[in-house]
Structure 1
Amino acid sequence: MSFPTSPGAMTPAWLAQTLGQDSGALRGFAATPVGTGQMCDSFRLTLDWAGGTDAPPSIVAKCPSHDAASRNIAKLTGTYVKEVSWYRELAAGSGVAAPHCYHAQIAADDIDFILLLADLAPARQGDQLAGLGLEALIPCIDAAAGLHALRWDDSQLAALPWLSRDSGDLVRALFPQLYLGFRERYADRLAPDVLDVGARIVAQLDAYLGREPAARTIVHGDLRIDNILFAPDGARCWLVDWQTLGRGSGATDLAYLIGTSIADPFERAAADRPAFDHWVAALAGRGVELDTDALWTDYRIGALSGYFMAVFASMNVERTARGDEMFAVMAERPARQALALGSLDLL
């Protein structure tokens, strides 16, 4: 393989040349783990330049996970291919709130890859366990609208094989068994009616996976605040972790964000329609023509997506104490959202 996939395999000369500098311009670098991602390993690289350069003082490197199970599911679902392809083919010049990419490379095995991204510090990762209120989520909703408006109902998206990759058969085969493991793991943590939402999804799995949304666009697919970086004042944000990118319903992306992010159940129940209306207005302001009623139906059904992801991801990535609790709330909050919105009845 012709490129490194971890900081330990990088050399100062390779980094300098990859960042557009002379091979001897970088005296050395230090690597520190950052983030809480369970599908990839991320590091902040502090760069010691010899001087006389406009190169960045630090960058973030994303690499394959050290965990074999995470790498395996990444290969099966095209996770790493999607993120590398996003930065290679779509991100630059899109206007979407995402980090600048200096380098993106992936091997033919769809596992070994490297991304070198702008370090957005002092921006900080959101904390899904703590949650955020609707007002604090407004920049995220605007950023989501910017992504969704980029290729709204664009038939050419189907021509991007990495984006339109169909994993439906894989999900149909795996999800029922994964749900049984999830139910056993969280039997003492989640209420019976929350656990039963998963059983109802299994019973209606074909209807859920086969439903055609009102409009298709580029979707993030895992739009939660753990995957968003916030400026210190909270007025600006950047979307990161593009490993679940796909073609789907933008309204589902939004429902996922609201359902997984707001911790207080009363505030969350009151946030759905105002969040949706803000998103619709943001899309309209970008010139997108909308069928609001149909999109509201997509939003209501999309509330199931957070629960769905919690089951699928929790049973396929490296297990950690924080991860267990994160996946618990990732199921619990959207389950309550979906029950309140009558999401399953719409299927």
Structure 2
Amino acid sequence: MNTQSEIIEYIQEQFSCSKVIKLEKIQTLWSGYGEISRYQVMVQDGAKNIIVKSIVPPNVPTHPKGWQGDVSHLRKIKSYQVEANWYQDYASTLSRASQVPHCFGVKSFAIDHPRHESSIILLSDLDASGFSVRKQHLSVDESKVCIKWLAIFHANNLQDNHLASWPKGLWATGSYWYLATRQNEYHAMQESNVKSAAYKLDDKLNRCRFKTIIHGDAKVANFCFSADLSKVAAVDFQYVGAGCGMKDLVYFMGSCLSEHDCQESYEELLEYYFSQLSAALQSRLDSCEIIEEWRPLFFVAWADFQRFLLGWSPEHHKINDFSSAITQRGISLVN
């Protein structure tokens, strides 16, 4: 495991400082795979707070919904390796409009090391950078700052006919729910037209011409807001990888908007996303062609996530009348 003394020693090594204090544990990682904590580092110009993500897989993994097992374990381990790669190799390429934590260092172990599944990631403290507010639900207007963040993030890496090796070090298919890694959940689904269409939905998304690097877990809980909610930064890049930007958009909307707001405003928010995407592209690619391809994929992406929920947690509150209606529209586009 990453002991307290090992974490402090690594922080001291990275910051060339002698005094490090653990201020608080912020949260335990999903299924008990470590923790996120806040530390204070004494540097030349005074005290500095940083965030430490310490990954230590449990001896006996558990899952709140009973999905523990080798497949789940290996997916999580790869996700932390992907996140480290993203912070080290990709985060610095983002524009200032796509705020993310700065990475001060990653400590990992060689594949033949007995602790090769453990790691330590040192990140800047977004609270100290003016992003101290967390939200669980948003109004339609409040959601637009995150949608703008996603559009700019997607524009930064949008590709037309990308290389097969892209994006190196990240997931070949971004998001934590894509079908190839969720076979247990697929087989647990009741027979339905959603299950029958699962592979067609997956194929439609994976074969799109225009792809970008998607966040892959863009729920509202992974956004940090300024006090007036006018600015936002994102965290938790474990499932970042190649894909259609609609996957991030539908997942984000479902995570923070009520069923009523989704029903009344999804078209408005979809148009807002495309307007921000077009502006951020600055004619680098033909936004009209991207929008023409991605607009119907909004419904396909929604149906694809509903497919995951129906296997993973069939009683989930996100499975509602609106979501089911959008899912049927997505299925009609692939049948």
- What TM-score do you get using the length of structure 2 for normalisation? 0.78
Amino acid at match of 1:137: S
User: How do 1:159-238 and structure 2 match up within 5 A?
Assistant: 159-165=166-172, 170-171=180-181, 173-179=183-189, 199-211=192-204, 212-238=207-233
Supply the RMSD in Å over aligned alpha carbons.
Answer: 3.1
Equivalents in 2 of 1:328, 1:82: separation in Å? 28
Instruction: Indicate the residue corresponding to 2:11 in structure 1.
Output: 15
Equivalents in 2 of 1:346, 1:108: separation in Å? 46
Equivalents in 2 of 1:202, 1:41: separation in Å? 34
Instruction: Indicate the residue corresponding to 2:154 in structure 1.
Output: 148
Q: Deviations over 1:316-339 (max 9, x none)?
A: xxxxxxxx9xx823x425x73351
Q: Residue 33 and residue 65 in structure 1: after superposition, are their counterparts in 2 closer, same or farther (change >3 A)?
A: farther
Q: Residue 250 and residue 240 in structure 1: after superposition, are their counterparts in 2 closer, same or farther (change >3 A)?
A: same
1:161 deviates by: 4.1
Equivalent residues of 1:219, 1:253 under 8 A apart = yes
Equivalent residues of 2:51, 2:122 under 8 A apart = yes
Aligned length: 304
Q: Deviations over 1:25-73 (max 9, x none)?
A: 21x4125222475265433333252x63356234343424546246952
Equivalents in 1 of 2:216, 2:139: separation in Å? 21
Instruction: Indicate the residue corresponding to 2:333 in structure 1.
Output: 346
Which moves more between the two structures, 73-82 or 63-72? 63-72
Which moves more between the two structures, 30-39 or 147-156? 30-39
Equivalent residues of 2:303, 2:326 under 8 A apart = no
Equivalents in 1 of 2:299, 2:74: separation in Å? 31
Instruction: Indicate the residue corresponding to 2:105 in structure 1.
Output: 103
Equivalent residues of 2:306, 2:319 under 8 A apart = yes
Please, which of 219, 237, 240 is the counterpart of residue 235 of structure 2?
Answer: 240
Equivalents in 1 of 2:84, 2:44: separation in Å? 31
Instruction: Indicate the residue corresponding to 1:252 in structure 2.
Output: 247
Instruction: Indicate the residue corresponding to 1:192 in structure 2.
Output: none
Report the secondary structure of 2:316's partner residue: helix
Equivalent residues of 1:61, 1:114 under 8 A apart = yes
Equivalent residues of 1:220, 1:246 under 8 A apart = yes
Instruction: Indicate the residue corresponding to 2:21 in structure 1.
Output: 29
1:80 deviates by: 1.2
Q: Residue 203 and residue 172 in structure 1: after superposition, are their counterparts in 2 closer, same or farther (change >3 A)?
A: farther
Equivalent residues of 2:166, 2:172 under 8 A apart = no
Instruction: Indicate the residue corresponding to 1:185 in structure 2.
Output: none
Q: Deviations over 1:57-93 (max 9, x none)?
A: 3434342454624695252362112111110110013
Report the secondary structure of 2:35's partner residue: strand
Q: Deviations over 1:156-183 (max 9, x none)?
A: 4733343253697843632323436xxx
Equivalents in 2 of 1:298, 1:68: separation in Å? 35
Q: Residue 262 and residue 137 in structure 1: after superposition, are their counterparts in 2 closer, same or farther (change >3 A)?
A: same
Amino acid at match of 1:289: D
Q: Residue 63 and residue 172 in structure 1: after superposition, are their counterparts in 2 closer, same or farther (change >3 A)?
A: closer
Report the secondary structure of 1:229's partner residue: strand
Instruction: Indicate the residue corresponding to 2:260 in structure 1.
Output: 266
Equivalent residues of 2:56, 2:118 under 8 A apart = yes
Q: Kindly, what percent of the aligned residue pairs are identical?
A: 15
Q: Residue 225 and residue 74 in structure 1: after superposition, are their counterparts in 2 closer, same or farther (change >3 A)?
A: farther
Please, which of 316, 321, 334 is the counterpart of residue 328 of structure 1?
Answer: 316
User: How do 1:110-125 and structure 2 match up within 5 A?
Assistant: 111-121=117-127, 123-125=132-134
Q: Which runs of 5+ in 1 are unaligned?
A: 181-195, 316-323
Equivalents in 1 of 2:149, 2:55: separation in Å? 25
Report the secondary structure of 2:82's partner residue: helix
